[in-house]
């Protein structure tokens, strides 16, 4: 009896000492909110323990994403100052709405970017886009020189990255790439190009977005010495559009995150998404589909892509092929738009759609300009 009691006390003491050792030898880590913290035992992180006690799905997901090792009996977590996803902290008090009274920052800020209301509910299907999904997608407005008429997205789209800047392809904003069209403005907040205000009926409730926001252009910035010719290499196909006024963020208009250096790089075989208004397989050739849609695409290796583009491809590119099961396909009218990935509840832009030789519905690779290679250039060219 004595022996058993002593043994039990020894084991308890050993466990406590083991946990304390783990506590002392901590490592730096990053929480799902990108906060630098320490990797410690879950039992020594009250903020996450309390979050688990609520049994709220977002709190449970936050704790799961906070894991930094350990075992089933002693899990380690990245223990920061909060257990709520940034911008999701007020979801419950505010009726399941993502707050959008966030600062209209001029430079890209990972605290505010990449969130969308749609992710709270995970409402969208494989290819269906709900109204508040991908709120960073921008339609470029072009003037038809021959008919003196403004047209939407006839050549390209873009991506909102701050309250004053849209990222797109250099060839989308240069006159020399189109003798018939001049880019004159940017439209944000549109899901249906046939209407300025879009409404859908979901579960008997009529949901309408705010009226679209149109902006004139203050400045066009194309990367120096860029080239976009199908007879030679396509290089430096990236550009910035500075809007003439500051964007007002809403549920339907938000910036996406840039691929910050500390974020992981998408891997070959990973599924990414292309978003835009390009042609749908049921629509006539070169006819825009009026509704915003998403295309699931798979990242392929540089060598695999080079077989299809031996002359065009450079190290600054990455390539994808559309997923076979999809009934949506990326097309030439999606140029300048974003290739995006989801990372800890935040969306980030991986690349800009630059070129394709594929007709819609054909399993031919699409080429993109890697945004990560141009982060310094973007920061240098964004003004306050």
- Asked whether residue 46 is domain-assigned, the answer is yes
- Asked whether residue 102 is domain-assigned, the answer is no
User: Which residue has 């879950």 as its token pair?
Assistant: 42
Each residue's pLDDT tens digit in the chain (384 positions)?
444 565 566 556 555 555 444 444 568 898 887 788 999 999 899 999 888 887 776 677 788 888 888 887 888 999 998 887 654 433 333 334 444 444 555 666 666 788 886 664 444 444 555 567 889 999 888 887 777 666 665 678 899 999 999 999 999 998 755 567 788 999 998 765 555 555 554 445 555 556 788 999 999 999 998 887 766 778 899 999 999 999 988 878 889 999 877 677 888 888 898 887 765 444 444 444 556 777 888 899 999 998 888 888 888 899 998 876 555 666 656 789 999 998 877 899 999 999 887 655 566 788 999 999 999 999 999 976
- Do residues 284 and 217 share a domain? no
User: Which residue has 């060839």 as its token pair?
Assistant: 171
Q: Which domain holds residue 295?
A: 271-374
* Residue 18 backbone dihedrals phi, psi, to 5 degrees: -65, -45
- Asked whether residue 231 is domain-assigned, the answer is yes
- Asked whether residue 127 is domain-assigned, the answer is no
Counting DSSP H helices and E strands in the chain, the numbers are 6, 18
- Do residues 151 and 190 share a domain? yes
- Asked whether residue 108 is domain-assigned, the answer is no
- Asked whether residue 233 is domain-assigned, the answer is yes
Task: Find residue 20's DSSP bridge partners.
Answer: none
C-alpha 23/C-alpha 381 separation (Å) is: 44
Q: How many residues does the chain have?
A: 384
The DSSP secondary-structure symbol of 246 reads: P
Domain count, the chain: 3
């Amino acid at each position: 009896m004595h022996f058993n009691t002593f043994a039990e006390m020894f084991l308890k003491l050993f466990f406590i000492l083991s946990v304390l050792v783990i506590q002392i030898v901590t490592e730096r880590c990053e929480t799902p909110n990108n906060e630098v913290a320490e990797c410690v035992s879950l039992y020594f992180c009250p903020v996450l323990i309390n979050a688990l006690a609520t049994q709220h799905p977002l709190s449970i997901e936050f704790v799961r994403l906070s894991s930094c090792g350990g075992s089933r009996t002693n899990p380690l977590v990245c223990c920061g100052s909060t257990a709520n996803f940034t911008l999701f902290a007020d979801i419950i008090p505010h009726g399941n709405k993502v707050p959008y009274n966030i600062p209209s920052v001029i430079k890209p800020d990972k605290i505010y970017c990449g969130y969308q209301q749609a992710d709270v509910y995970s409402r969208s299907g494989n290819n269906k886009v709900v109204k508040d999904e991908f709120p960073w997608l921008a339609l470029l407005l072009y003037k038809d020189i021959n008919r003196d008429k403004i047209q939407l997205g006839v050549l390209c789209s873009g991506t909102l990255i701050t309250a004053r800047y849209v990222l797109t392809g250099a060839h989308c904003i240069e006159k020399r790439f189109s003798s018939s069209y001049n880019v004159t403005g940017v439209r944000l907040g549109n899901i249906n190009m046939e209407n300025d205000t879009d409404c859908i009926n979901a579960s008997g409730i009529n949901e309408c977005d705010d009226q679209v926001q149109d902006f004139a252009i203050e400045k066009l910035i194309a990367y120096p010495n860029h080239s976009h010719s199908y007879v030679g290499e396509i290089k430096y196909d990236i550009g910035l559009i500075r809007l003439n006024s500051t964007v007002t963020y809403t549920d339907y208009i938000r910036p996406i995150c840039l691929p910050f250096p500390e974020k992981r790089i998408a891997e070959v075989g990973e599924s990414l998404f292309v978003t835009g208004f390009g042609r749908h397989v049921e629509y006539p050739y070169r006819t825009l589909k009026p509704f915003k849609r998403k295309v699931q695409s798979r990242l392929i290796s540089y060598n695999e892509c080079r077989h299809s583009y031996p002359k065009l491809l450079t190290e600054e590119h990455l390539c994808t092929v559309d997923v076979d099961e999809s009934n949506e396909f990326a097309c030439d009218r999606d140029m300048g738009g974003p290739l995006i990935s989801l990372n800890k509840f935040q969306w980030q832009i991986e690349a800009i759609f630059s070129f394709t030789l594929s007709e819609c519905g054909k399993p031919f690779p699409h080429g993109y300009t890697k945004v990560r290679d141009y982060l310094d250039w973007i920061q240098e060219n964004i003004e306050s």
